[in-house]
A = this chain, B = another copy of it.
């Protein structure tokens, strides 16, 4: 490989045009004190010579990079795509750039992502926590430098970080109540690591709905997996071995519910007649599976918009973030054929 080209500096431009480096610097910053024609000439030369502004140094001066960072657990979910689309819209409208990284559900990688974002000098950070993150110390360098960090969806209680999430408790309470109204009394719940608020709150909502209707919580009906299609197919096989079979199934995401429906149908179980099924998220696949899936419409795009707006309002207008502790978004129960029994 040939040697790298030397980076063009303002001194190179100054030398070529026979002006001072200070003039070049001022011209490139569009300073009032530089004559208009000189400015034009300098900008033209800078472009031709391939000058790349020292964004780091100028960021230090300006104290901003116009870059927003996002750390998500995984990119391969419809919900995450929706959130990012919402963030992207707001970020673009405000002439910020977005850089994204994924923790792949591990705290270790989340720590590395945070370091990279800090070194890239993002102006602000939006984070949804990894599956196994047990503390958020790795975001403290941001607090120290007054770089705002906002948690969304998978959040933690923390004095310094605002949080944006839906009322997972209420959503799970409603969907479980709906299954009970369809006549279900033995409702399996499949969820993931209850270290994360989204799963612990859904479990709490499930339990509260059972209690409300006088049904005792049965530990043997609770399954914890990673909610992937593969893991849930295995759980569905375990469900098939239960005696008596459950008559309801509430999965903490749609991928899990879809996978279960496929296994259960193949085994001759009627959905919703034998087992009424509900998911969570309203992924597009919920309208492809037959029967279509009852679920919670989780407004990812809106969540992304709200998170990005909160962050950018803070950056632009210096709104006080500390005042916004939590922002809870609405969700809604969508009843489809997978749970709707004829009465």
Contact residues of A with B, CB < 8 Å?
A: 1-2, 4-5, 7, 50, 52-57, 60, 63, 67, 74-76, 78, 80-82, 84-85, 88, 92, 97-102, 104, 109, 112-113, 116, 118-120, 141, 144-146, 229, 258, 262, 284-285, 287-290, 314, 318, 320-321
Contact = CB atoms under 8 A, between A and B. Distances in A.
A341 to B, nearest CB: 21
Nearest to A74: B81
A81 B75 contact: yes
Given A76-B85, A85-B76, A92-B109, A288 B258 contact: yes
18 contacts: A1-B314, A1-B318, A4-B63, A5-B146, A7-B145, A52-B119, A52-B141, A52-B145, A53-B119, A67-B116, A74-B81, A75-B80, A75-B85, A97-B101, A97-B112, A99-B101, A120-B120, A229-B284
Contacts of A314: 1
Contact of A145 (B4, B56, B116, B289): B4
A99 B114 CA distance: 12
Given A284-B229, A288-B288, A84 B75 contact: yes
A177 to B, nearest CB: 27
**Of A84, A97, A112, which is in contact with the most chain B CB atoms at under 10 Å from its CB?**
A97
Contacts of A1: 146, 314, 318, 320-321
Nearest to A321: B1
Contacts of A318: 1
Contact of A285 (B50, B92, B288): B288
Given A75-B75, A76-B85, 7 more contacts: A1-B318, A52-B119, A52-B145, A53-B119, A74-B81, A99-B120, A120-B120
Contacts of A116: 67, 97, 99
Nearest to A76: B81
B100 A100 contact: yes
A92 B78 CA distance: 24
Nearest to A2: B146
A320 B101 CA distance: 29
A106 B229 CA distance: 33
A5 to B, nearest CB: 6
A100 B99 contact: yes
B7 A60 contact: yes
Contacts of A88: 102, 104
Nearest to A318: B1
Query: 3 shortest A-B CB distances, which residue pairs?
Result: A56-B56, A76-B81, A97-B116
A119 B55 contact: yes
B144 A5 contact: yes
Contacts of A2: 146
Nearest to A66: B116
A101 B101 contact: no
Contacts of A85: 75-76
Nearest to A113: B97
Contacts of A141: 50, 52
Contacts of A67: 116, 120
A285 B262 CA distance: 12
Contacts of A98: 101
Given A119-B55, A288-B288, A100 B101 contact: yes
